[in-house]
Amino acid sequence: MQPLDFLQIALYFGLLLVCTPLLGGFMANVFQGERTWLTPVAKPIENVIYKISGVNDREEMSWKEYAASLLVFNALGFLAVFGLMLAQGALPLNPQSIGGTSAYLAFNTAVSFMTNTNWQAYSGEAALSYLTQMLGLSVQNFVSAATGVTVLLALARGIARRQSSSSSSELPSKTVGNFWVDLTRITLYVLLPLSIILAIVLVSQGVVQSFGAYITATTLEGHSQIIPLGPAASQIAIKQLGTNGGGFFGVNSAHPFENPTPFSNFLQVFAILLIPAALTYTYGKIVGSVRQGWVIFGAMLAVLLVVLGIALWSETSYNPVLQASSPLEGKEQRFGTANSILWGMTTTVASNGSVNAMHDSFSPLAGGMAMVNIMLGEVIFGGVGAGLYGMLMFIIITVFIAGLMVGRTPEYLGKKIEAFEVQMAMITILAPSAVILIGTMIAVLIPQGLSSLNNQAAHGFSEILYAFTSAAGNNGSAFAGLTVDTPFYNIALGIGMLVGRFGVILPALAIAGSLVSKKYTPPSLGTFPTDKPLFAVLLIAVILIVGALTFFPALSLGPIVEHLLMNAGKTF
Amino acid sequence: MQSQSLFDPAITRRAAWESITKLDPRVQVKNPVMFLVAVGAVLSTFTFFRDLAGGAFSAFNLQITLWLWFTVLFANFAEAIAEGRGKAQADALRKTRTGTMARLRINYPSSAEHRVIATELKRGDVVVCEAGDVIPGDGEVIKGIASVNESAITGESAPVIREAGGDRSAVTGGTQVISDEIFVRITAEQGDSFLDRMIALVEGAQRQKTPNEIALSIVLAALSIVFLLAVVTLKGFAAYSETASGLTTSLLSVPVLIALLVCLIPTTIGGLLSAIGISGMDRLIQRNVLATSGRAVEAAGDVDVLLLDKTGTITLGNRMASAFIPASGIDPKRLAEAAQLSSLADETPEGRSIVVLAKENFGIRGHDGSEHNATLQQATFIPFTAQTRMSGVDVGGRSIRKGAADMIEKYVDSYGAAFPPDAKRAVEDIAKTGGTPLVVAEVTANKATVLGVIHLKDVVKGGIKERFAELRKAGIRTVMITGDNPLTAAAIAAEAGVDDYIAEATPEMKLARIRTEQANGHLVAMVGDGTNDAPALAQADVGVAMNTGTQAAREAGNMVDLDSNPTKLLEVVEIGKQLLMTRGALTTFSIANDVAKYFAIIPAIFATLYTINGVGALSALNIMRLATPQSAILSAIIFNALVIVALIPLALRGVAYKPLPASTVLWRNFLLYGVGGVIVPFAGIKLIDLAVVALHLV
């Protein structure tokens, strides 16, 4: 580690700290329908969208209507991508004349982009036409991220809305917002403007943006080489901002046309955490106390700094097998070890999944940390919206246990946490865990699972474990070393992504519906405060304990044993 | 009612037997965590005998199996001992009920009478009870007055008065009439009286899970599923790894897998959960409070507003004379003497307190000297009436009067005397501080003199101010209810340190106040006794009725305090909080324990996986340096079983409760049960491992 590496990491987190309240405050205003500097431009467009689609933006929905709208919208997105992939051979904007994909791959990819996972069982430049990339994947990059925020908004409203106590004759309002309005605003006011800015800056750094056919060049050695092109910059901007992570090209942000310069590298890794971090502030604003948001931000940052520290330490320690420290095999050679690890940790905590280095090539502990990050439930910043609503599920569990310990029916921000909330929150923790454990077990026991392995023993195990972890956590990054474009993995991982996404969204919305109709209890000295560092400590403890206890046996047979074996001079 | 020692031999013996009868699957299935352990124990037993039939005897598997059964039995024992303690209380209560005969008045008020067994009485029946009769059921006195011995349920030997009408009309089945005759209308069906409900609750038979208990059960069940998944899939992961590392035999036998599962699922809290709930009810009865449901006890822990009657709770109950303030030119001793003389026949607490104060301050004794007594013989005492608002005495040509300032002013005015301005000032000063001024005047030979003023004031109970301060720290507000005027109320409120008060309170105001507090999201507890308290008691989240109160009040509330001590409310709140805290603390402890168990078991079961120079790579995780893989697994499962037994006393007594801010309590319990829960098993398992090796168990 060079002093400059430390400086850059410090700069990274410093900038994040500065931008969180700025962007977070702006988003809070947008989502609450208040006037912002963007209103004069965006409001007319917003109104036209409502007019065309017949949405009444004053109408509110119950949690069930909200969830139904969300499911219908996502199903349509799935069908669009699925259809495009199968039919792309006959559609325009296909200069390389790439044919339709298999139905398995189309299913896997459509699920993957709809669920904000962006797991890629294909190589973009070889398998997809420009039309599929732009109309299918790019659109899903925007709306899957927006979908995550809609769920967060419904949940935040459920927590924040107070039933008027005086007018007991009125039925309590049970609505959590309007899905279509939320979806439109997030896309129009936040994701689109930020993406446009980032895409233009990226183009200035050398990221390609072209409809032209691939170029065939003659190399210095006289060989001929095909250089793929495409409308990459526009997709990469949202890929990072929307914590999607699906690369335009197969090797993702390790490709010089996706990530050409140290500056573009910094911008992209920064874009990964920008919105998830800012949403903590937005959340604080919506529930009426920015301190609540900062405590969550603090808990997230603390965990990230610790895993980053461990990964950097492991990666730069002496490797007895390679007889070197900081080996660069598989790392982003242009940017160095520190940037590879920073990106690796950021992309895994944030459910992004884009990579600028192969996680497969990290030291066992650093690779293990990447896996642990996802196993913790993608709540350390996590996906856009998804990270925070996932975190709120952990908060409910923490509040419940802490509430019992102080001798009071648990409350969170004045709303009582009872059996129903606890049950739903436990489902959101159980569902992804079940996918990871059961999926991995099936894969390591059947030939269809094992035949895809390129590595053996503990490392092979890590690869399969990582694949299911990535799917269940809607992360999308791959450990590599595993051939996943097979019917088995396409279907198994596709199901894993669906469970990991909707197994959390639906219970979270149910909680929103339950909390919104609950009576508000004002805090007293008997309520323990959730805006103090102590709460962050408890929250971290619960996340780590749940994650560690669930996956310790699996990890011990993967990265842990691998690390111990490497120290003894053995690798796979 | 006596409090029992924690492990009464008779109860312990019975509990030991019941821990076996409770193995009945129908009982076990009610507790998902322990049911899982029981299923594991059955599977493990089956495996052992199958191997035995195949000629392979494994002492290790036998021990694992036995400890699995012990785990189940220990949890059963914990529940049985809590129930046993409850039953012991209930039996004492029930003894009074059996064999009671009742004199049923058919078609009351006709005098036709019929003797029936108490258990055959129905709601609405009217019975007659004479001196010596045991009252056959809960009811309301509709005619007559009697003194009743309620020691059977309260332990208090002094008899109490029960009479028709008013606030002392309720009687409890099982108590005994010791004088006079009363007619009682039975208000509770047999089997549904307060006592019956309470007995059912403490015996655990009808114990319904409380809301928080249900939520906690969900968490525990979900965690059990997580660990079940982790263990079942581990079998698959191990199969892959064994092949990869060239092993031909399976590392994970069924007993070992089950041992791992049982160590991980939250058996500590799962095994003690019902014991905690039952013993919470039990602690309540030990304080002579009966609750109709566990839900009410739990709600008590959530209460953040207490409505307390001033009289009896905050003040000693009566105004006491605290000072004599003479008018100018009057000897203080003369005032005291006159005041005492006028109060000698006044048997009210105020009157008595004046006599006592005069004695204490001036050494004047009311009954000394035969001459004095002789004078008293001829004295005429004028009692207090609502019209005159004065009382006094006419003796030896002197007329002494004491009373409200305006009435005394009229009285002296009628003799042509003026009310001295300094006495008037003293009256105003006393009123301003919330006290009651009592003016004393004397008429001799048609000449009236105002002697001075007696300062009567409410005496606030010692220590109550500190108690309220503690409650405030714990986030509980206290509201004093009093019939006093606002000025008096404010003064007492300030002295007692309550947060708020309702002066000149009516039942409607109490009800309205409770509704307002609830609308603002607060949970309210109140104490009441009169019929007019019934609506408020019913509205309050926790309504504690005094046992001396009316049947209506008792039915409206969800708890009855047999001692009729309004301060008890504070203890009820404490018990409610303790109940939740004990559950939370043991849950945290239980989960935190898992960390150490992983470090014991994972390296042990994979001791031969991926060997380097004959040592498994994962042996590096054996940071406790446990002797052998088998001793490690055995030690973990033994620790897991023993910790249930070790924590039974904590479950029965509840964790210590002090009224502190929530964040302080949380921090303490987190360190104690969370961090402690991580550390303790490392030491515990290591020690058991040493013992297992020393005893050659493996």
DSSP A109-173: HHHHHHTT----SS-HHHH--HHIIIIIIIHHHHHHHHHHHHHHHHHHHHHH----SS-TTSPPP
Residue A517 placed within a domain: yes
In terms of Cα–Cα distance, which of A225, A233, A361, A391 is closest to A297? A391
Residue A49 placed within a domain: yes
Residue A74, pLDDT score: 97
Q: How far apart are CA A346 and CA A303, in angstroms?
A: 11
Percent of chain A with pLDDT over 70: 98
Q: Do A404 and B241 touch (CB under 8 A)?
A: no
Would the pLDDT of A169 be above 70?
A: no
Burial of B252 per CB tally in 10 Å (0-12, 13-18, 19+): middle
Q: Which residues contact A232 (CB under 8 A, 6 or more apart)?
A: A207, A208, A209, A248, A249, A257, A258
Could you tell me the CA-to-CA distances from A172 to A59, A569, B254 in Å, in that order?
16, 66, 54
Contact by Cβ (8 Å): A187, A142: yes
For chain B, the distance separating the N- and C-terminal CA atoms, rounded to the nearest angstrom, is 50
Distance of residue A36 Cα from the nearest chain B Cα, in angstroms = 34
Q: How far apart are CA B405 and CA B399, in angstroms?
A: 17
| B466-478 average pLDDT score | 83
Between B111 and A377, the higher pLDDT residue = A377
Number of alpha carbons in the 13 Å side-chain half-sphere of residue B140: 17
Q: SS3 of B389, please?
A: coil
Residue B199, pLDDT score: 66
Q: How far apart are CA B296 and CA B274, in angstroms?
A: 16
Contact by Cβ (8 Å): B582, B301: no
Q: Phi/psi zone of residue B288: left (φ > 0), alpha (ψ -120 to 50 degrees), beta?
A: left
Q: Do A549 and B233 touch (CB under 8 A)?
A: no
Q: How far apart are CA A205 and CA A410, in angstroms?
A: 52
Flag whether residue B481 sits within 8 Å of chain A, measured between CB atoms: no
| A59-71 average pLDDT score | 95
* pTM given for the model: 0.85
Residue A219 placed within a domain: no
Residue A508, pLDDT score: 97
Would the pLDDT of A541 be above 90?
A: yes
> If DSSP states are collapsed to H, E and C, what string results for B412-451?
HHCCCCCCCHHHHHHHHHHHHCCCEEEEEEEEECCEEEEE
Counting one residue from A and one from B, how many pairs have CB atoms under 8 Å apart?
225
Between A465 and A523, the higher pLDDT residue = A465
Pairing relation of β-strands B101-105 and B113-117? Answer: antiparallel
Q: Do A568 and B612 touch (CB under 8 A)?
A: yes
Residue A252 placed within a domain: no
Number of domains in chain A: 1
pLDDT digits (tens, 9 = 90+) for A351-406: 888 888 888 888 888 888 999 999 998 999 999 999 999 999 999 999 999 989 98
Residue B374, pLDDT score: 59
Q: Is the peptide bond before A523 cis (omega within 30 degrees of 0)?
A: no
- pLDDT band, residue B156 (cuts 50/70/90): low
- pLDDT band, residue B97 (cuts 50/70/90): low
pLDDT digits (tens, 9 = 90+) for B299-319: 888 888 988 877 767 777 667
Residue A196 placed within a domain: no
pLDDT digits (tens, 9 = 90+) for A274-329: 999 999 999 999 999 999 999 999 999 999 999 999 999 988 887 777 777 777 77
**β-sheet bridge partners, residue A96:** none
Flag whether residue B584 sits within 8 Å of chain A, measured between CB atoms: yes
Could you tell me the CA-to-CA distances from B446 to A367, A516, B195, B417 in Å, in that order?
109, 78, 65, 10
Q: How far apart are CA A314 and CA B436, in angstroms?
A: 80
Residue A264 placed within a domain: no
Could you tell me the CA-to-CA distances from A228 to A215, A235, A348, B165, B451 in Å, in that order?
6, 15, 27, 98, 114
Flag whether residue A538 sits within 8 Å of chain B, measured between CB atoms: yes
Q: How far apart are CA A121 and CA A484, in angstroms?
A: 6
Distance of residue A561 Cα from the nearest chain B Cα, in angstroms = 6
Task: Flag the least confident range among A528-537, B45-54, B60-69, B123-132.
Answer: B123-132
Tally Cβ neighbours within 10 Å of residue B467: 17
User: Which of B302, B468, B570 to probe the A interface (max A CBs under 10 A)?
Assistant: B302
Flag whether residue A322 sits within 8 Å of chain B, measured between CB atoms: no
Between A482 and A434, the higher pLDDT residue = A434
Flag whether residue A334 sits within 8 Å of chain B, measured between CB atoms: no
**β-sheet bridge partners, residue A318:** A325
Residue B603, pLDDT score: 92
User: Which of B210, B233, B588 to probe the A interface (max A CBs under 10 A)?
Assistant: B233
**Max Cα separation, chain A?**
84
Percent of chain A with pLDDT over 90: 65
| B480-487 average pLDDT score | 82
- pLDDT band, residue B152 (cuts 50/70/90): low
Q: Do A458 and B610 touch (CB under 8 A)?
A: yes
Q: Do B239 and A445 touch (CB under 8 A)?
A: yes
Would the pLDDT of B67 be above 50?
A: yes
Distance of residue A415 Cα from the nearest chain B Cα, in angstroms = 10
In terms of Cα–Cα distance, which of A506, A504, A539, A508 is closest to A117? A504
Task: Flag the least confident range among B205-209, B218-222, B300-304, B463-467.
Answer: B205-209
Closest in A423, A524, A564 to B620, CB measured: A564
Task: Flag the least confident range among A542-556, B71-85, B271-285, B314-328.
Answer: B314-328
Flag whether residue A441 sits within 8 Å of chain B, measured between CB atoms: yes
Would the pLDDT of A166 be above 50?
A: no
Catalytic-role residue among B125, B282, B309, B484: B309
Closest in A430, A532, A568 to B225, CB measured: A430
- Interface predicted TM-score (ipTM) of this complex, two decimals: 0.91
Contact by Cβ (8 Å): B71, B262: yes
- Chain B residue numbers with beta carbons less than 8 Å from the beta carbon of A460 are 244
Q: How far apart are CA B22 and CA B221, in angstroms?
A: 20
Would the pLDDT of A553 be above 80?
A: yes
User: Residue A533's closest chain B neighbor by CA?
Assistant: B663
Pairing relation of β-strands B436-444 and B447-460? Answer: antiparallel
Side chain identity at A131, as an amino acid letter? L
Mean residue pLDDT across chain B: 85
Distance of residue A567 Cα from the nearest chain B Cα, in angstroms = 10
Percent of chain B with pLDDT over 70: 91
Task: Flag the least confident range among A181-195, A201-215, B191-205, B506-520.
Answer: B191-205
Would the pLDDT of B371 be above 60?
A: no
| B549-558 average pLDDT score | 76
Q: What is the dihedral of CA B270, B271, B274, B277, to 10 degrees?
A: -80
Q: Do A524 and B477 touch (CB under 8 A)?
A: yes
Contact by Cβ (8 Å): A347, A245: yes
Q: Do B663 and A408 touch (CB under 8 A)?
A: no
Distance of residue A254 Cα from the nearest chain B Cα, in angstroms = 32
Task: Flag the least confident range among A108-122, A252-266, B459-473, B679-693.
Answer: B459-473
User: Residue B573's closest chain A neighbor by CA?
Assistant: A407
Q: Which residues contact A267 (CB under 8 A, 6 or more apart)?
A: A198, A201, A202, A205
Q: Do B237 and A538 touch (CB under 8 A)?
A: no
| B92-114 average pLDDT score | 73
The yes-or-no answer on residue B180 being catalytic is no
Residue A479, pLDDT score: 80
Q: How far is CA A546 from the centre of its chain?
A: 20
| B168-172 average pLDDT score | 83
Closest in A397, A403, A444 to B240, CB measured: A444
Residue A207 placed within a domain: no
Q: Do B522 and A522 touch (CB under 8 A)?
A: yes
Residue B88, pLDDT score: 78
Range of the domain at A477: 1-190+273-572
Tally Cβ neighbours within 10 Å of residue A316: 18
Q: Do B663 and A570 touch (CB under 8 A)?
A: no
Tally Cβ neighbours within 10 Å of residue A78: 21
Q: Do A433 and B669 touch (CB under 8 A)?
A: no
Closest in B520, B522, B598 to A552, CB measured: B598
- Chain B residue numbers with beta carbons less than 8 Å from the beta carbon of A414 are 521
Percent of chain B with pLDDT over 90: 29
- pLDDT band, residue A203 (cuts 50/70/90): very high
Residue A167, pLDDT score: 42
